Copies of this chain bind each other. A is one copy, B any other.
Amino acid sequence: MQRKTDQTGPNSETAMGEAVRPAACEQACRFFLEEACVKKADMEKAGVTVKFTRNETVYSKGDEARYSYKVIEGAVRLSRIFADGRRQIVNFLLPDETFGIELSETYSSTAEAVGDVLALRCPRICISHMTVGDPDISQKRLSMFSKSLAAAEQHVAMLGHQSAKERVASFFLALEMQRPGDVEHTLDLPLSRQDIADYLGLTIETTCRALSELKRQHIIDAPSRRRIVIKDLRGLKAIAEGDA
A109 neighbours in B (Cβ, 8 Å): 153
Docked CA distance A138–B161 (Å): 36
Does any Cβ of B come within 8 Å of A10's Cβ?
Answer: no
A97 to chain B, nearest CB (A): 14
CA distance A70 to B153 in the complex (A): 19
Whether B156 pairs with A88 at a CB distance below 8 angstroms is yes
Given contacts A90-B153, A103-B143, A142-B142, contact A242 B82 (CB under 8 A): yes
Within 8 A of B (CB), among A129-154: 131-133, 135, 138, 141-143, 145-146, 148-150, 152-153
* Interface residues of A, Cβ cutoff 8 Å to B: 80, 82-84, 86, 88, 90, 102-104, 108-109, 131-133, 135, 138, 141-143, 145-146, 148-150, 152-153, 155-157, 159-161, 198, 201, 241-243
